[in-house]
Amino acid sequence: MAENGYTYTLTRTLDAPVAKVWEAWTNPEQYAQWANAVPGSVEMHVRPGGTWKATMVTPGGEFPLGGTYLEVADKRRLVLGMNVPGRPEPVAMSADFTDLGERSEITVSQTSDTKEERDMAEQGSTMLLDGLSKFVANS
């Protein structure tokens, strides 16, 4: 085991300016479209301490998620705390946005307690980034 858990980091270059990518990630209606969330289930209060929630559609059924924004730096960084049943502290996932002019880069990272949790989280984040990439390139 790593000293502080098991971490994954995913980086994507997107064919859209950072303002468009930020809007897609922080606007509930847009997020629902690309993140495969149940329409109307997404709520976002994008500010430090603000809450968020979404019901995700997965092959195994619907999966409710929620938590708080731990850090918000406009068009640069989001750190989301995700509430996990049975855990006293939220699991933090960071998303860093880099302005590349007409393109942008997003880096998502999360640390988990076990390799299995990390692998599941990485798979979920890969699906999110796939959806985001397609959405911003086609909208």
Give 70-91 pLDDT, tens digit per residue: 999 999 999 999 998 788 888 9
pLDDT: is 20 or 2 the higher one? 20
Question: Is the per-residue pLDDT at 10 higher than 90?
Answer: yes
What pLDDT is stored for residue 86 in this prediction? Answer: 80
User: To the nearest whole percent, how much of the chain has pLDDT over 90?
Assistant: 81
What pLDDT is stored for residue 1 in this prediction? Answer: 39
- 2 — pLDDT class (breaks 50, 70, 90): very low
Average pLDDT over residues 111-129: 92
Indicate the pTM of the whole model.
0.91
The CATH number of 18-138, from 3.30.530.20, 3.40.640.10, 3.40.50.10300, 3.40.50.1100, is 3.30.530.20
What pLDDT is stored for residue 3 in this prediction? Answer: 57
Angstrom CA distances, 62 to 16, 29, 65, 89, stand at: 30, 18, 10, 23
Domain ranges for the chain, please list them.
18-138
